Structure 1
Amino acid sequence: MDPVTTGGLRVVRAAVALGVRAAPGTLALSVVMTFAGGATPVGLAWSTKLLLDGIAGHDPARRNAGVAGLVVLGVLTALLSHVRRYCDQELSRRVKVRTQVELFTAVSAYEGLAEIEDSAFHDRLRIAQDASGFAPVQILSSLFTFSSSVITLAGFGYTLWLAGPWLAGLVLLSACPTLWAQIRLARRHGEMIVRASPFWRRQAFYAALLLDPRAAKEIRLFGLATHLRTRMAREIHAGQAEERAQDVRTLRVDLALSAMTSVLSGVALAWIAGRIAAGYGTAGDLVVLIAALAAVQSALTSAVLDVATMGELITTFGHYLDLTAAARPRPRPVTGLPALTGRIEFSGVWFRYAPGHDWALRGLDLVVERGQAVALVGANGAGKSTIVKLLCGFYTPTRGRITWDGVDLADIEPAELRRRIRATFQDFMTYELSAADNIAVGDIDGRHDRPAVARAADWAGIGETLAGLPNGYDTLLSRTFSDGARDAERRPTPGVVLSGGQWQRLALARAVLRASADLLILDEPSSGLDVRAEHEIHRRLAELRDGRTSLLISHRLNTVRDADVIVVLRDGVVAERGDHAALMAAGGVYAELFRLQAAGFAEEAVSS
């Protein structure tokens, strides 16, 4: 069996297994209806024959049997259509929930950031996300319809065979070029979806950007709306060009196939009419043969299209299966990480974000002792944030190793490592959730501990502000959504937008909530605060860091002078190391930068 066929069968089996997991009862009922739906047209045709032959031959028994068959099968056909529609919708709902949960569980299982920052990954993710919502159900539906068509073909094909074996053979052989052409078209359509995915993803990006409240100020101030709309339209045109080329190709093939089928049907119909006119059959036979010819052609067309549709869906749903399979985390030898008792150490660490990129770290050696407050300073691009990302397990070193009490981070389960870390990042998230939830994400297992959330907010100096919001800590921090209230007592309340400094305090509250963590990482924790607030926050951070293992990154050197150790980075290596007094006495890079900043503040003070 060739790889394409093997891969197709794998995807079909996966779709069936997904249907069994999501809705076993509904799937079983659909199978029963498939067989009933395939046999019903054959029964209706033969019941019609019995009725006509009974009338023509004055045979009450045949006539009554025909009427009974038509009534029963007519009622069954009507019922089947309604039940089948409900089953399709219910199966679609349950499968969609299942696939969306499984897909984003898989995406969340990627341990680092390399895939999340890869544009090709996002193209595949878009295809997988779109396909997961409809492809499994359509594969199952096509499989059911194909099975039903096969049953119909078997019943009516036998009828045509009785009339003339060559007739049945001719009709069946006519399906071969149609099947070949539709499979090729389906494969090309699947390839077209892959090619067009980047266009549609960028179009969605520009559309979302035009609606993003965070971008609204600059879009209006800089007059970017027309520019962004033009880019969005360009992506739409590019995506539609791919679709249009495929549609033109499909139209040509379908017209040719329809002409061939019509000619064959005309020849077969003329032959059948001639035989009946010559006395080789009854009026009932004529009805059955015409019905058989029409049904066989229809069933063949349906079967071919179902095969072609499954071929297209297999291509797109294959991305879903590949993506979810690839996200399985590799087992690590260290599944439980004890509290830090010794040191965290970078040993000869080299790292770059992609092959061909410049090195972000170049053989870095760095030690953070337990209970030590370490500050990282240096120019932009020196490697400070890269150290944080490696320490959190978002990436693994290209060369060298990072150890936690002598254990290589590459051998530690990422979830266990991150459970030991609390952090606030320079590019912290502003979640469109309630105020309480925005803090509670810092320790999601304790999200129902409202007193702890309130204490963290009070520590960060944001507690009074949050308590004074329209719904207190339950106020939604967003203008995009309302709080969703639907009771008769209260209308939905619009959300509230915090200032940059308030968000900074909230992010700090989020970071300090996980009190059991061993390592505290603070990446520019006061960049959005005014001078007075910055001074107060750093006083509190100094108290929080006292006796705790911490890593502080800041461009404002006056905020790091109380650190136990200050590490100066340059070009991905340690340029200087020591406390504030020692580094100032050495007169190196740190001393130069500190004096430059101090001089700047002094000039501002004099000019004011």
Structure 2
Amino acid sequence: MRDVVFCLRRLLTITWRLDRRRFAAGAGLLLLGAIATPLLAIGAGRLVDDVVAGDVASASGWALVVAVALTGDLMLGHFAHLYYFELAEETEQRFNRDLLRLVNAGDHLDRADDPAFADRIDLLRQDVMQMRATVQTGLQLGATAVQVLLTAVVLATVSPWLLVLAAFAVAPVVLGRRAEAGLQEVREAQSSTTRSIRALRRLATSPASQKEIRLNGGTDFLLARQGALLGTYDEAMGRADTRYALLRAAGQIVFGLAYVGAVLGAFWLAREGRASVGQVVLTITLATQLSTQMSAGIEMLGSVHRAAAGLRRFVGLEAELAAEHATPPDGLLPADLSDGLRLEDVTFVYPGTERTVLDHVDLHLPAGSSVALVGENGAGKSTLLKLVAGLYRPTAGRVLVGGTDLATVEPARWRERTAALYQDFARVELTLQHSVGIGRLADVDDESAVAAALRRADVGELADELAPADVLGTGYADGRDLSGGQWQNLGFARTLMRDDPALLILDEPAAALDALAEQRLVDAYQATAAEVATTVGGVTVFVTHRMSTVRLADRIVVLDAGRVVEHGTHAELLAAGGRYAQLWALQFRAYTEG
């Protein structure tokens, strides 16, 4: 019961603050409906007594009471729904906003790469959907509690022993709570399975993946995988549902036997002359209502209890993240960044794994230089980029900016001086103005700043074809569909909205481009790198598998299995005959043979 009280108190406090008018109207109408139900039974009993006694005037009055009570019983709940339905929608939106803040809380991406955290967030998404229903259920539960209380009071006027009927309602509540707890445990244990099922559904239905799936004939394979996961889920939940049903049925049987005893007791009182015919009718009616009310109340208690578990998860994550960021770093960047960037004995292991991605890396990236990271897939290139950008914290070691440990610098300060285009760049489906302008929020509505970024990125004819107000993306009825290369060009322009970066990152910037667009981007990259180096002494770091682009860098760093195996200029590394020379020879041969 403590969980139910916790959930209702918190949810109803939130809804009251969101919209007091709707809350008061919805709760008030529900309360009137709750009063109408036992009033209907009282009126029916008195009406029967007056008819038996031949008191037409009094019977007419009670008939009117019955009519009004019946109308209220049937209609007030509907009118209340018009208010609390909208209130529940507002509450759901509030929790969705809070969930987005939690997912994006913190200054690093460590949690985002943790599978266990992904499972928690997936479960919270389901919990948020429950919050909307629980707001409605909570208000209805309050009205039901009033009905039960009034019903018990009226039954006591017939005979105090009839209050025992209400006491027997404890059995279904206790057993129902135990049933809900067991069901919730299984649901939580299956969270990773449900997340995998949804991932497969997205893969099978996404327009982006449909081409390959159909060409490869992968539909049946995906359906089989999904079917196996569904079988695992259904088997676990089937057993849990059976236990749930048996416990709930046991509680209802206990109450059902008590109900039968109450009705027989009322007839015995009438035979002994201790109760009127109207009171017998009242007892039968109220006992039936009490059964319905308790059944509904138990159902609603179970729903609230389930929601309470989700709400505690929500509150727990809020507290956990708040504790983690209770004392965030608040240091400033040094005024002098002439020492560039340094990695001192940096090791990194992704959360939830034991694989070392970067292993005791020592590296100096001088100010004003352009640096290329080279290595096979999985060598640690992208991870190193995210470390120097401050998106990850080293598991061990330090990242220094101008001689200052990045861990002591307020993250926002360093991000203001960092611009990046990653291989998995975002397709920001907004207007052209905002899709590019969001790269620097201070200038998001500045058309001249966006136009300058588009010129610097040299996006070709795309800038001439689109106006700032044109909407991009297929998510809009009038949206302009773009190719992968065009989206990447806009991503590069978004990166160049920051014209004074101390760090410019390009991770496979030409991956989605054709040869002409790639050359245009390389030219733009060279001009940007030179500008960054000359104007602000910034460092440009890029990753590419095209060795013709790598040779343009001032410095080349070769990674292998998370370690720096060599670094130097293009000429120095070729002369050394090491890993870089091997990679160069392999790619050069691929272009020259045949």
Q: Same fold (TM over 0.5)?
A: yes
Instruction: Identify the residue that residue 40 of structure 1 maps to in structure 2.
Output: 36
Instruction: Identify the residue that residue 522 of structure 1 maps to in structure 2.
Output: 506
Tell me which amino acid in the other structure corresponds to 1:229: L
For residue 245 of structure 1, report the CA deviation from its aligned partner: 2.5
Shift in alpha-carbon separation, 1:453–1:340, aligned structure 2, 3 A: farther
SS in 1 for 2:148: helix
Could you tell me which runs of 5 or more consecutive residues in structure 1 were left unpaired when the two chains were aligned. Answer: 485-492
Instruction: Identify the residue that residue 147 of structure 2 maps to in structure 1.
Output: 152
Shift in alpha-carbon separation, 1:392–1:340, aligned structure 2, 3 A: farther
Instruction: Identify the residue that residue 564 of structure 1 maps to in structure 2.
Output: 554
2:211 to 194, 217, 220: 217
In the aligned structure 1, how far is the partner of 2:587 from the partner of 2:515? 14
Instruction: Identify the residue that residue 52 of structure 2 maps to in structure 1.
Output: 56
In the aligned structure 1, how far is the partner of 2:416 from the partner of 2:370? 20
Residue 359 (1) aligns with residue 348 (2): no
For residue 287 of structure 1, report the CA deviation from its aligned partner: 2.0
Q: TM-score, normalised by structure 2?
A: 0.89
How large is the RMSD of aligned CA atoms in angstroms? Answer: 2.9
Tell me which amino acid in the other structure corresponds to 2:541: L
Instruction: Identify the residue that residue 124 of structure 1 maps to in structure 2.
Output: 120
Q: Deviations over 1:103-124 (max 9, x none)?
A: 1121111433332223332222
For residue 183 of structure 1, report the CA deviation from its aligned partner: 0.6
Shift in alpha-carbon separation, 1:599–1:293, aligned structure 2, 3 A: closer
Matches within 5 A, 1:229-378: 229-328=223-322, 329-334=325-330, 337=333, 341-342=337-338, 343-354=340-351, 357-378=354-375
Instruction: Identify the residue that residue 577 of structure 1 maps to in structure 2.
Output: 567
For residue 133 of structure 1, report the CA deviation from its aligned partner: 2.3
For residue 595 of structure 1, report the CA deviation from its aligned partner: 4.5
2:383 to 386, 407, 416: 386
Residue 11 (1) aligns with residue 7 (2): yes
Could you tell me which runs of 5 or more consecutive residues in structure 2 were left unpaired when the two chains were aligned. Answer: none
Instruction: Identify the residue that residue 187 of structure 2 maps to in structure 1.
Output: 193
* Percent of aligned pairs sharing the same letter: 27
Instruction: Identify the residue that residue 488 of structure 1 maps to in structure 2.
Output: none
For residue 494 of structure 1, report the CA deviation from its aligned partner: 6.4
Shift in alpha-carbon separation, 1:444–1:18, aligned structure 2, 3 A: same
Residue 534 (1) aligns with residue 518 (2): yes
Higher mean C-alpha deviation, range 83-92 or range 54-63: 54-63
SS in 2 for 1:350: strand
1:67 to 63, 66, 73: 63
In the aligned structure 1, how far is the partner of 2:129 from the partner of 2:267? 48
Contact 1:181 1:253 in 2 (8 A): yes
Shift in alpha-carbon separation, 1:172–1:194, aligned structure 2, 3 A: same
For residue 585 of structure 1, report the CA deviation from its aligned partner: 4.4
Contact 1:129 1:320 in 2 (8 A): no
Q: Deviations over 1:117-152 (max 9, x none)?
A: 2333222222211221233x4434343333333323
SS in 2 for 1:116: helix
Contact 1:50 1:284 in 2 (8 A): yes
Contact 2:433 2:445 in 1 (8 A): no
In the aligned structure 1, how far is the partner of 2:314 from the partner of 2:541? 39
Matches within 5 A, 1:390-429: 390-429=387-426
SS in 1 for 2:111: coil
For residue 27 of structure 1, report the CA deviation from its aligned partner: 2.0
In the aligned structure 1, how far is the partner of 2:209 from the partner of 2:446? 34
Contact 1:339 1:420 in 2 (8 A): no
For residue 79 of structure 1, report the CA deviation from its aligned partner: 4.4
For residue 278 of structure 1, report the CA deviation from its aligned partner: 3.2
In the aligned structure 2, how far is the partner of 1:587 from the partner of 1:249? 69
SS in 2 for 1:360: strand
Shift in alpha-carbon separation, 1:579–1:50, aligned structure 2, 3 A: same
Tell me which amino acid in the other structure corresponds to 2:193: F
In the aligned structure 2, how far is the partner of 1:100 from the partner of 1:300? 32
Higher mean C-alpha deviation, range 58-67 or range 93-102: 58-67
In the aligned structure 1, how far is the partner of 2:479 from the partner of 2:418? 35
Q: TM-score, normalised by structure 1?
A: 0.87
Shift in alpha-carbon separation, 1:178–1:215, aligned structure 2, 3 A: same
In the aligned structure 1, how far is the partner of 2:29 from the partner of 2:408? 53
For residue 282 of structure 1, report the CA deviation from its aligned partner: 2.2
Q: Deviations over 1:279-321 (max 9, x none)?
A: 2232222222222322333333333333233222212333333
Tell me which amino acid in the other structure corresponds to 1:566: I
Q: Deviations over 1:391-416 (max 9, x none)?
A: 12222111111122233222233333
For residue 267 of structure 1, report the CA deviation from its aligned partner: 2.6
Residue 550 (1) aligns with residue 540 (2): yes
